[in-house]
Every structure is written in C-alpha cells, then in structure tokens.
Amino acid sequence: MSRKHVISWCLVAAGLVLLMAVQPYAAGYGHFRRTIVAEMLMRWGDATWQHGALMPFIAGYLMWLRRKEMAQMPASSSRWGLVLVVMALFFYFAGFRANHFYSGYCGIMMLIAGASLWLEGRQRSRAGLFAWLMLGFMWPLPFLEESIGYQMRLLMVKSTGFVLNGIGVESLISGTALQSMPNLELGRKAGELFSVGVAAPCSGMRSLFALLVVGALFSYFRQRVLWRRLALFSTILPIAILANMVRILILIFSAMAFGQKWAIGGATEKEGSAFHELTGIVVFLVALLLLQAASWVLNRWCGGLGFKRTKTVSRQVVAPVS
C-alpha cells in the first residue's frame, strides 16, 4: 500500500470520527443533540442491541481473513465511489437537519462503501462486501421493536397455544397471555397449572437480531455458493420463532411440574426466577441445531458445498509377461 493510499484512508477515518463522535447530530426524544456514537452506546445498553458493539470487531476479522486475497487484487479507482460519497454526505446532512439518527446511520454506511469504491476499486470492494454488510448489524433500530414486537408476541402466544392444545394440554389464549383451562371435575381454576404472559422480551425480539448475526456468519462459513448462503440465511426467522417457542414450552412444562414461581417467577420481569433467565440460552442452542440441520439438508440434496463431483476412473496396469 502506497503512502498516498495510507494518507487517504487516514483522512477517511478522521472524517468518520468527526461525523460520528465529535459532531452533535440529533436529539432523538431528548432535549439536546447527541453524537451518533453516544446514541449507539446508549442503545447498546439494551439487551436487544448488545450485539452491535461486537460488529466492528467481527467486520474487521472478516477483512483480516481475506487480506492475502485482497492484496493480490489490483488496486484501482471507481468514479461511482465519489458519487456514493457525495450522496452519503447528503444523507448525513439531511438527517442532521431533520433530527433523525437513521438517516445518519445510512449516510455513514454509504460513506464507507463509497470510500472503498473510490480508493480500492470494484474488485477489492466486492471482496469486502460481506464484512460491510455485517457492519450494518451495528446500528440499533428500536423502531422495529415498536412496529413488529406486538405482532411477534401474538404469534408466539397463538402458536404455542396451538401446540399445547394439539398435544392434549388444554390452554386458553387471552391477548398476549396463555394459561391453563379450568377443570371443574378436579376443582382446578383457570391458570392454576400455568399462567404465562408473553412480554416483549419473551416474544423473541430480544434474540431475533442477535440470531440474524449468528445466522449470517453461520451461512457464510458453512456454505460456499451464494444462493445456498441466502437460502440458509432465509431460515433464520422461522428458526428464531421455533427456538423461542421451545423455550416457552419448557417454561410451561416446568411450571406444571415444579410450580409457577420456581419456573417463571413473579408477575414482572424483575421478579423472574433464575430458571427463567437460564432458559434464555435454550433459544440459541436450538437455533444452532436447526441451522446445522438446514445446512445438512442443503448439502445432502445439492451434493457437497457447491463443488461438482467428479468420477475417478482407476486404471489397472498389467505388467508384460517375460
């Protein structure tokens, strides 16, 4: 890398620091403007977005893995990179004027892509595309929690109730709550066996975004063909729903066996039992098993990791008889 190249990237890095960590950008719901970095650090304190703090390191590691391959590629420059840089600065300024963090996020991502195209060229930028896409998981998007969080809660309650009724455990669905049916013969009241309120953290939203990161990395390293990677990644949403359903079923069966307080805890999230907290890891274990199964099915049906199988023909050498 030439000295001019190093200076150019240092200027880009300095510009990113200035735009993200020095310049106050938006107020959000507050009374004064915060920098983009300050907003991200605040959001990363929420368990839903904690994975974002790891994404710069993961993206850097992915670039490091391809460093030798990229070093052999010819360095060039694309004018489209300059166009992207100009558009990125426009998005950044528009978000600044509109007091809108998400426009700033989009502007920063476009600026990184444009700088790569301008300074490295299309070939090297294409090689670093996946690392750039993974960097996109760094940005907290809390509006998604508000828009689809409630729908996820309803989906979890209805699907879990359907499974319970299907296996003979009569349950009653009431909004986002699930409880056992009353039994007059046994003198059992409604909710006596179990009563589970699927709150926002238990809807699967808290683990969904982290599972998207895990699924993207798993698909990238387990498959070698683009369409298979996309096919495997597309299974993340149903896998996340199934994994979270398994957790809720474990909590319900544990409540039936050992009692509501031991399995689930009190009525609020702060009063949750230790077992309730420990079952959070079940979501990731089940998701990884299902991802591995989906990858195995892809390999089984499509033959290997995308490489064509070749038949080897053995030749028998016959020595002449003297």
Does the residue 307 lie in any domain? no
Contact call for residues 33 and 24 (beta carbons, < 8 A): yes
Extract the residue ranges of the chain whose pLDDT is less than 70.
Answer: 1, 184-187, 191, 199-204, 266-272, 303-322
The count of other CB atoms within 10 Å of the CB of residue 299 is 15
214 and 268, same domain (yes or no):
yes
Tell me if 27 is assigned to some domain. Answer: yes
Based on the fold, state whether residues 58 and 205 are members of the same structural domain.
no
Same domain? For 120 and 166 the reply is no
In a domain, 320, yes or no: no
SS3 content of the chain, % helix, strand, coil (to 5): 70, 5, 25
Residues 110 and 41 in one domain: yes
Decide if 322 is inside a domain.
no
Helix (H) or strand (E) holding 237: helix 236-258
**Model-level pTM?**
0.82
Spatial CA neighbour of 94 closest among 80, 105, 81: 105
Condensed to tens digits (0 to 9), the pLDDT of residues 192-216 reads 778 887 766 566 677 888 999 999 9
Question: Is 28 in contact with 101 (CB distance < 8 Å)?
Answer: yes
Structural domain for 86, as ranges: 3-140
d(CA 92, CA 111): 9
Let me know whether 153 and 134 are in one domain. no
Q: Are residues 121 and 56 in the same domain?
A: yes
**What is each CA distance from 206 to 184, 201, 220, in whole angstroms?**
38, 6, 23
Q: What residues does 171 pair with on adjacent strands?
A: 180
- Terminus-to-terminus CA distance in the chain, angstroms? 66
Judge if 298 and 149 occupy the same domain. yes
| Structural domain contains residue 317 | no
Select from 118, 140, 162 the last residue of a domain: 140
Specify the pLDDT at position 114.
Answer: 95
Q: What is the pLDDT of residue 319?
A: 42
DSSP, res 173: E
Q: Is residue 97 part of a domain?
A: yes
Same domain, 127 and 169: no
Residue 95 belongs to a domain: yes
Give me the pLDDT at residue 202, please: 63
Considering the domain architecture, whether residues 78 and 95 belong to the same structural domain is answered as yes
Residues 216 and 193 in one domain: yes
* Confidence at residue 1, expressed as pLDDT on a 0 to 100 scale: 62
Total number of domains in the chain: 2
pLDDT score, position 135: 96
Clarify whether residues 40 and 153 are in a common domain: no
Residue 100 belongs to some domain of the structure: yes
Distance CA 245, CA 160 (A): 6
Residues 295 and 188 in one domain: yes
Instruction: Give backbone dihedrals phi and psi of 83, rounded to 5 degrees, phi first.
Output: -60, -45
Neighbour-count burial of 178, counting CB atoms closer than 10 A to its CB (0-12 exposed, 13-18 middle, 19+ buried): buried
Question: Residue 136: what pLDDT?
Answer: 95
